[in-house]
Amino acid sequence: MTVSMKTMLDLTDRFPMRFDVERMMAELGLLENDSWLAHYDKKISNGWTAVPLVSQDGSLAGPDSQRAGPYSRYKRTPVVEGLPYFRAILDAFDCPQGRVRLSKLLPHTIIRPHRDICAEAASVVFDQVRLHIPIITNPHVLFMVGRQTLRLRAGRLYYVDFTRRHWVRNDGTEPRVHLILDLRMNDFIRRLFPALGFHEQLQRAVLRRTLPLVWPFFRMKLALTQHVMLNQL
């Protein structure tokens, strides 16, 4: 079975569980301030924090608690035991789970333009996806993927192809908080997606072979852009 190649899809109505925003917000309130870890790459953002729910070896500290890695190393972190509703959400995804985190972008901060590639590649092209469940958002969040402006609503389940260039700016007065799940595709996940047509199947086959060839160029371009931006600060 093959799946859609679109940049963004709302998968909510295909998922067997509905997401209760009030219950998620209530459990966010149980987290201590020091539970939120600064993103490991300060060149991308200095106002982006996360609480790992599934991480490499179940770690809650150090870079590996937020970095992508081999799926065989991922375990739930101890914080999940104190968040029963988020635990139920994780249980509802009947598939191999990679990095899962609660992600917060503070007001008047930005996640700078980048692509999630190599080990972090999040696209149906490579049979691993990154799904977002917005919990707290506001109309002043600008979320750009390629040339598309995305408007993600609280309590919905979204797939976005993050191998494409993307960035986020929170111009609102409250944090933007999402539950973000990195998942390996299996039959359960594939059933959430519309089937591909012939031309999309061909496109997927071509991208699967060609995208990794240009990733070194993307990484060099990003490094150069970040170097220039830091020197301008």
pLDDT tens by residue, 158-173: 999 999 999 999 999 9
For residue 18, pLDDT over 90 is answered with yes
**pTM of the predicted model, to two decimals?**
0.90
Contact assessment for residue 179 and residue 137, using Cβ atoms and an 8 Å cutoff? no
CATH number for region 8-232: 2.60.120.330
| Structure tokens belonging to residue 56 | 């490499």
R_g over Cα of the chain: 17
Distances (CA, A) of 156 to 123, 132, 136, 159: 19, 8, 11, 10
Contacts of 36 (CB under 8 A, 6+ apart): 49, 50, 51, 104
93 close to 129: Cβ distance less than 8 angstroms: no
| pLDDT tens profile 60-86 | 987 668 888 889 999 999 999 999 999
Please state the domain extents for the chain. 8-232
